[in-house]
Amino acid sequence: MSRSPSPASSLDFFESDPSSEEDFIPRRRVRKVGPALGGSKKVAGGPSKGAPKIKINLPALQRSREIEAAHPADGPIEEDDVGEGDEDDEGYFDGMIGKRGVDLSNQELKPDHALRPLWVDDKGNIIVEAFAPFARQAQDFLVAIAEPVSRPSLVHEYRITKPSLHSAMSIGLETKVIIEVLSRLAKTPLSPRLTARIEEWTASFGKVRLVLKDNRYFLETSVPEFLQTLMTDEVIRDCRVTREQEAGPTVFGAEQIARPRRDFAIPGTEEARRAERGEADAIGQPNRDNDALIGAVIGIGEADEMEDEDDAVHSFEVAGTRMEDVRRRCKDIDLPALEEYDFRNDTVNPNLDIQLKPMTVIRPYQEMSLAKMFGNGRARSGIIVLPCGAGKTLVGITAACTIKKSALVLCTSAVSVAQWKQQFLHFSNISEKQICAFTQGEKEMFTAPSGIVISTYSMIAKTGKRAHDAEKMMQFLRSREWGFLLLDEVHVAPADMFRKCINNFKVHAKLGLTATLVREDDRIGDLGYLIGPKLYEANWMDLAKNGHIATVQCAEVWCPMTPEFYREYLRNPSRKRILLHAMNPNKIQAAQFLINYHESRGDKVIVFSDNVFALEAYAKKLGKSFIHGGTPEGERLRILSRFQHDPNLNTIFLSKVGDTSIDLPEATCLIQISSHFGSRRQEAQRLGRILRAKRRNDEGFNAFFYSLVSKDTQEMYYSSKRQGFLIDQGYAFKVITELHGLDSMPNLVFPTKAQQISLLEEVLNTGDAASETADHYMRLNHGKHLKRPAGTQPVLSTSAGSLPAVQRFTAPLEHLSGGQNLSYREQNKSVNKELSREDRQNKRGSGGNGKDQHSLFKKRKAEMDAIKKQRAAG
């Protein structure tokens, strides 16, 4: 195998082929970066010299064609037809109109079809020509009524589903408008079958509301038939609360439910500044502009959008303890309950004095998402989906500043709690005593009539006996009405443990925030009734184009297994295999090469490994710092701070503790060496670590994301599964099969067969527990670090349950030679310890004032010190 001597040329594949723009629908391109760059070897699915090969691969369509073949036109489609591999779509696309491809073979094109951007079939599948005139406006509309399935640069795929129509109705769109706009944007006439289904499904959406009044929940509707359905339904009847003096449903006058329009400005927006300047008609302007634009395109006036409701409202009480049953049942009988909070007219709950600081300006997509939430003057419960690093925190804070009532914020870890608190204080005028944290280490209650509490899902959902102060805190939280419940990383909420958090409290408006509305189980659909419909979903590529998140080049690097590792891989059980493909010497060399290359370009590199054994082995071998679940807090903070500020520390190794929460805008390159099977969410969250790169607006700046995969192992399968979500967001993964200059790199690790065999011997002699991901291994092998410092939480999504037994076995190495050569171990020193020593020396020199620390770390340290002091005193 010959390789070019220059390391720089090895990455020319990015430079020579810098953008995904050329891809029609980029899925996966395999490109051999051979001896002559862009060379003579033809490559699978990749561009040949000079002419990029276009590859269209829409698995959904492909699959649907197979289904089509199995079922003659218009025959019934069974669930089983959908095929394997989409199991996670099942819940989310529950109630999808069609599961087959866009087949318009029998349709006639409209004469001016070239001007219209949509292909819409009779099952609700939509293809958008993103390059067509009015495509921009069409996409704004489609995000409101359909699920985005795939959005690469030129052709997008959407699907109309029951939940998507529910979202559309909940933000105030009417059936007539949906059908008419769709029809005008489509290149062919809409099929009567599709319009009939849209009409059928939307007939009942948005007509039932679940409201909280004076600590009591009521189901409300203005349609007598729906009231009848609800009151006679077995489950709902069972949840009903009948008080003596209220035998039948209450009837309110029409004025109590007339749909209002928003008459206030969302803080931090241009409309708020215009309203402050006293400009007439400032309120709701951005939205109206948008509506007017769509209206102009499709010829529908704003007045048509809403039909006035003027019937009386019927309402009956349901038990607060049965909320989940009520919500689920309403969804199941196709009467999903809208949850809206008329906070402006809530005189029972005291107002919270919170405003955005004047310097805070929210971005257009943040404003758009909030406009969906507050569009009708009330706070709609629902979910906002924005890419990692796009500023979900500020969206949540702005929503809290709009509602101005007590708020409960739930997030995934104590680090996030500290970050949320710090961000509230940074972006708003909330006083310190009105914002409290509820974690293992901090149990603060506000004494004012209103305030904000920030906690973690696991703190709230904990079962069993609690410490006295924690129990008191829970009573405090349960005893009051909350105007606003903010759920960060809301995709964790459907898990049994976390859904308790939603059902445990009396809340008026719920807002879920996430970047990745995907789970590998089928529970994502539960969010629809647990929290509310999806209100807004941003397009990652648009945000990257506008510089709000970084542009990322993604690559999968195929590392062949060495023959010795591969032989053992094939003969060992699957648990050991994980370690073998993670510790493949060719992979370690590839990691070393990429780290060197990117450090020399001035990048800051994060290397992710779920497997802690591999994490430590790589980091020590390559002389880098590492952080995993067992790293003490002080050491973590020290390493993170040095990574941010020290030009000599440019690479850190992180286990899954760094998947979320860690905010390192300095990082510009990610290398993933081992990951959690096929988790699409983890892949996206990891990518998210570099989307916020500080340098994202530098001319021509690209961040880099590499996944190192041992060739011909199960990693290949998992890797392509993991990429699914990002590919649907428009990212193109390029495959690198060879890294030029690697062989000639000075100080290459494991250069000889003997050293590689030594490594193999060590891997084989390591107990099976080393194949486990972070926390299992840490618990077994780093017992001394087990005690978490006060105030920290275990990271979510670690596999719980019983620990695997530690086994040692003697590997059959008689067929290997040179196995005794263990000289490489001498280099296996932990840089963490050196850093710690250096820091101690520096502190001694500077009086230990922690001058170089990031302010967040300083603050956190001060908080920790205060807690320790309190404990010592008490």
Ligand X SMILES: Nc1ncnc2c1ncn2[C@@H]1O[C@H](COP(=O)(O)OP(=O)(O)OP(=O)(O)O)[C@@H](O)[C@H]1O
Considering the complex, what minimum distance in angstroms separates the CB of residue 710 from ligand X? 28
Identity of the amino acid at 490: V
User: Least Å distance between CB 488 and ligand X?
Assistant: 7
Q: How far is it, in rounded angstroms, from Cα 709 to Cα 683?
A: 14
Helix (H, G, I), strand (E, B) or coil at 824: helix
Q: Is 389 a binder of ligand X (CB under 6 A)?
A: yes
Tokens of 371: 């406009």
C-alpha span between 604 and 624 (Å, rounded): 12
Q: Rule CB under 6 A: is residue 512 a binding residue for ligand X?
A: no
- Shortest Cβ distance from residue 694 to ligand X (Å)? 9
* Residues of span 341-380 touching ligand X by CB under 6 A: 361-363, 366
Instruction: Kindly identify the residues of this chain, within the stretch 446-465, that bind ligand X according to CB under 6 A.
Output: none
CB 469: neighbour CB atoms within 10 A? 11
Interacting stretch for ligand X, rule CB under 6 A, among 36-44, 381-389, 460-468, 473-481?
381-389
Helix axes 285-298, 175-185, angle to 10 degrees: 50
Pick 529 or 540: Cβ nearer ligand X? 540
- Binding flag, residue 381, ligand X (CB under 6 A): no
Q: How far is the CB of 514 from ligand X (least distance, A)?
A: 8
Q: Is 179 in the site for ligand X (CB under 6 A)?
A: no
**Closest distance to ligand X from the beta carbon of 733 (Å):** 20
- C-alpha dihedral sign at 291, 297, 303, 305: negative
Q: Which of 405, 692, 740, 860 binds ligand X (CB under 6 A)?
A: 692
Task: Kindly state whether residue 592 participates in binding ligand X, applying the rule CB under 6 A.
Answer: no
Spell out the residues 6+ positions from residue 55 whose beta carbon is closer than 8 angstroms to its own. Answer: 24, 25, 26, 27, 28, 29, 45
Residue 553 near residue 703, CB atoms below 8 Å: yes
Specify whether the CB–CB gap between 182 and 144 falls below 8 A: no
The residue among 536, 539, 484, 531 whose CA lies nearest residue 512 is 531
Does residue 410 touch ligand X according to CB under 6 A? no
The 10 Å Cβ neighbour count of residue 468 is 9
Q: Total number of residues binding ligand X (CB under 6 A)?
A: 16
**Taking CB under 6 A as the rule, does residue 688 contact ligand X?**
yes
Q: Does 719 bind ligand X (CB under 6 A)?
A: no
Contact between 687 and ligand X by CB under 6 A: the answer reads no
* Between 536 and 824, CB nearer to ligand X: 536
Is the CB of 336 or the CB of 688 nearer to ligand X? Answer: 688
* 538 contacts ligand X (rule: CB under 6 A): no
For CA atoms 489, 217, 397, 500, give the dihedral sign. Answer: negative
List all residues 6 or more positions away from 490 whose beta carbon is below 8 Å from its beta carbon.
Answer: 383, 512, 513, 514, 527, 531
Binding of residue 394 to ligand X (CB under 6 A): yes
Q: Pick from 138, 515, 517, 667: which binds ligand X (CB under 6 A)?
A: 515
Structure tokens at 665: 């805008």
Strands 534-537, 147-150: pairing kind: unpaired
By beta-carbon proximity to ligand X, the closer residue of 355 and 504 is 355
| 751 CB neighbour count, 10 Å cutoff | 14
Distance of CA 461 to CAs 115, 530, 595, Å? 53, 15, 41
In the chain, count of helices (H) and strands (E)? 32, 26
Handedness of CA 77, 81, 82, 88 (dihedral sign): positive
**Is position 408 an interface residue for ligand X (rule: CB under 6 A)?**
no
Nearest CB to ligand X, comparing residues 46 and 512: 512
Assess 392 for contact with ligand X (CB under 6 A). yes
Neighbours of 819 (CB within 10 A): 18
> By C-beta, is 387 or 630 nearer to ligand X?
387
Closer by beta carbon to ligand X, 98 or else 512: 512
- If the CB atoms of residues 191 and 439 are measured against ligand X, the closer one turns out to be 439
CA angle (410, 413, 416) in 5-degree steps:
75
Please list the residues that pair with 703 across neighbouring strands. Answer: 552
User: Which CB sits closer to ligand X, 85 or 547?
Assistant: 547
* Residue from 130, 146, 223, 390 binding ligand X (CB under 6 A): 390
Which two structure tokens, joined as six digits, stand for 472? 């008191």
- Among 190-198, 350-358, 386-394, 563-571, which window interacts with ligand X (CB under 6 A)? 386-394
Residues in Cβ contact with 838 at an 8 Å cutoff, skipping those fewer than 6 apart: none
Residue 393 interacting with ligand X (CB under 6 A): yes
Determine the residue with CB nearest ligand X: 391
Question: Minimum distance between the CB of residue 860 and ligand X, rounded to whole angstroms?
Answer: 16
Nearer to ligand X, 202 or 516 (CB): 516
Tell me the closest approach of the beta carbon of residue 666 to ligand X, in angstroms: 12
Sole window of 41-49, 384-392, 779-787, 823-831 interacting with ligand X (rule: CB under 6 A): 384-392
Alpha-carbon span 482 to 487, nearest angstrom: 13
Report the residue number, 520 or 666, with the smaller CB distance to ligand X. Answer: 666
Region binding ligand X by CB under 6 A among candidate stretches 387-395, 616-624, 839-847, 858-866: 387-395
- State which residue, 101 or 391, has the beta carbon closest to ligand X: 391
Q: Does 402 bind ligand X (CB under 6 A)?
A: no
Least separation in angstroms between residue 386's CB and ligand X is: 6
HSE (side-chain half, CA atoms, 13 Å) at 472: 8
Sole residue written with tokens 């001319």: 699
Among 130, 181, 185, 386, the residue binding ligand X under the rule CB under 6 A is: 386
* Residues binding ligand X (CB under 6 A): 361-363, 366, 386, 388-394, 515, 663, 688, 692
